[in-house]
Amino acid sequence: RSSDAGPAKFKPPSKPVIVDKQRQTAERRFLSPEFIPPRGRTNPLKFSVERKDMIQRRKVLSIPEFYVGHILAVTTADPYANGKTSRFVGICIRRGGKGLGATFVLRNVIEDQGVEICFELYNPRIQEIQVLKLEKRLDDNLMYLRDALPEYSTFDVNMKPQSYLDHEEVPVNKLQVRMKPKPWSKRWERPNYNIKGIKFELPEEKMKEAQKWSKPWLEFDMLREYDTSKIEEKIWKEVNEELKK
């Protein structure tokens, strides 16, 4: 009788790969940029003392995670306003400063007048910071919105906060902004600003002339390197532990 080569070896079915999306995306760490100490000869004790104060303030007022390009609503205590609070809605143009003096600039166009207000993150007069729309832009610095057409900086003052899931990635808006005719406040076409979010409608010769000011050696300059990954991890752990208490 014909002999098979024994019974076919039992092949177990492939194990199902469980992708836990919650745990994966919870690994996304965001450390607010004002926690990272700048390069310098200051005593690290100063930064740790300052960080304690910042964490104390964060326990009282919850400062959400936000980047440049988000649309925020900030309520501050104002002694000269009705109801003693004033609310301002705008797009975050830039975040500056380190430590307790960290600031962010919100821009909006109200009744055809462009308004920019610079708020301090740790100012005790701020009652609430609300994120209305989550949206990262292509650049870190949106100062060119001053020379762009006003429609790109107008936002509804009574905008409802957009609901967003906690563990999704922050969406990047690849909007190319159209500008008013030149002259601009700064020469945004030059490579030292490194702007990717403008739709340049300039002739080709002007774009080539702007490339004359490019400094291709800057990215290879070793003295300018400041590797913050290890510092960031330490600080992130410290901040998270303190906030949980």
Interface residues with other proteins (CB under 8 A)?
40-43, 45-46, 49-50, 53, 56-57, 60-61, 77-79, 84, 99-101, 120, 122-127
Interatomic CA distance for residues 232 and 35, integer angstroms: 8
How far, CA to CA in Å, does 60 sit from each of 57, 124, 146? 5, 10, 34
CB of 37 to other proteins, least distance (A): 13
Is residue 121 a contact partner of residue 63, using CB atoms and an 8 Å limit?
A: yes
Cis before 183 (ω within 30): yes
Q: CB-wise, 87 or 190, nearer to other proteins?
A: 87
* Nearest distance, CB of residue 142 and other proteins, angstroms: 25
If you compute the radius of gyration of the chain from its CA atoms, what whole number of angstroms results? 25
Burial class of 72 by CB neighbour count within 10 A (0 to 12, 13 to 18, 19+): buried
CB of 188 to other proteins, least distance (A): 30
By C-beta, is 41 or 160 nearer to other proteins?
41
For residue 174, the minimal CB distance to other proteins (Å) is: 37
- Which one, 87 or 146, has the nearer CB to other proteins? 87
Q: At what angle do helices 44-60 and 229-244 cross, to 10 degrees?
A: 40
Closer residue to other proteins, CB minimum distance, 6 or 79: 79
Task: Classify strands 113-120 and 126-133 as parallel, antiparallel or unpaired.
Answer: unpaired
Cβ 79 to other proteins, closest distance in Å? 4
What whole-number distance in Å separates Cα of residue 236 and Cα of residue 239? 5
Q: Are 29 and 236 in contact (CB under 8 A)?
A: yes
Residue 56 beta carbon to other proteins: minimum distance, rounded to whole angstroms: 4
Q: Which is nearer to other proteins, 44 or 203 (CB)?
A: 44
Nearer to other proteins, 43 or 158 (CB): 43
